[in-house]
Amino acid sequence: MLHNVFSNKIRPCLNGQNAGVVAAAVAAGQNQTQVYVTESCLQKPYRCPHPKIQFYLYTRRTQEEGEFLNVLDPNALYYTHFNPRHPTKIIIHGFGGGRMLSPSPDLREAYFSVGEYNIIIVDYSDAVKEPCLSQMEWAPRFGSLCISQLVKYLARHPRGVQPDDLHFIGYSVGAHIAGLVANYLKPEEGRLGRITALDPTIFFYAGTNNSRDLDSSDAHFVDVMHTGAGILGQWHSSGHADFYVNGGTRQPACVGSATLFQTLACDHTKVTPYFIESITSTRGFYAGPCPNLFTYLIGWCEPKDSEYVLMGEHCSNKARGNYYVTTNAKPPFARGFPGKGRSNGEYQGVRR
């Protein structure tokens, strides 16, 4: 059983960043006192496994009913449909999410439509139904500690898999939690294979402290997709490959939302439909390297055909640097290969 010292080091953390969370909560009808201590706050004892952080396995045979993984029972994995020969995906949702709430079911459906997978949902929905500002500073680290217990359980189990074979997919704060799991793995215990970060939130973790942020040292390969950068999502690059979709800040499908807050929220959440489509798309989201947003916006990025890489599920683990990609405003969002190999012979670049 994993214990930790969080119970002795709980400190309020009401700074400029989570002031944005307060503002959003107030806009939804809550006052600051209501979001400081809520039913979503974790209860003592603060040890893993915690009842508000649970793991459910889904396979093609169990698409509708997930199988609960008890990491304290060495025999539990034997009684599930986990197959070590199939790729293993561990999905960490964001604020307000859950295993039965979008995008978790949509991700499962997309994966199972193309193959056999072990999909494990980290369900901490009871802890993120509403803000809990009194625990905001340390709760994500505690969550990652509990997830590391799952990783070690799978590594030790005769029917399990090693950390190097795991693909984490984290949305919003879930992206940072995925990165923080690496802090609890010793070198001899292995390293996470891949982390796909879907618009990592700017709240809590904007900074240069890599021990509390997602960065390229957290896995063998870290790819990041930005759709609401600088507003609800972080702007700075933090992976081996960072993809800025439609410039990274404003998504065409979100234009015309009723309020500014709805527009910003739409930009942030639009990352999940893009990634889900990338799992099954035959066109593909081809992205080209580009030095900065200004160069992308004025159309000066002209990569060679060989420099384009696929964004999303099928991204090459050799991709390095910042990439920009343009999508359609409506599904299918992927535009396919934009290089010189076009029937009209006209080079159209990254932005078109």
Q: Does 234 share its domain with 319?
A: yes
Q: Show the domain range for 260.
A: 220-352
Task: Give the strand order in the sheet containing 118-123.
Answer: 67-68, 54-58, 118-123, 88-92, 166-171, 194-198, 221-226, 241-245, 321-325, 285-289, 309-311
CATH of the domain at 252: 3.40.50.1820
Hey, is 281 helix, strand or coil? coil
The pLDDT value given to residue 347 = 35
- For 121, phi then psi, to 5°, come to -95, 125
The answer to whether position 33 is within a domain reads yes
The pLDDT value given to residue 331 = 95
The answer to whether position 215 is within a domain reads no
Q: Does 7 share its domain with 144?
A: yes
Q: Does 169 share its domain with 300?
A: no
The answer to whether position 51 is within a domain reads yes
Q: For residue 230, what are its two tokens?
A: 């600088």
pTM: 0.86
- Distance, in Å, from the CA atom of 62 to the CA atom of 176, rounded to the nearest integer, reads 28
The answer to whether position 212 is within a domain reads no
Element (H, E) at 111: helix 104-114
The pLDDT value given to residue 204 = 55
**Distant-in-sequence, close-in-space partners of 77: CB < 8 Å, separation ≥ 6:** 69, 153, 154, 157, 159, 160
pLDDT along the chain (352 residues), means of 10: 41 36 47 63 90 95 94 96 98 89 94 98 85 77 95 97 98 93 95 97 58 86 94 89 94 83 86 97 96 88 93 98 95 88 44 53
Decide: 218 and 205 in contact? Cβ < 8 Å: no
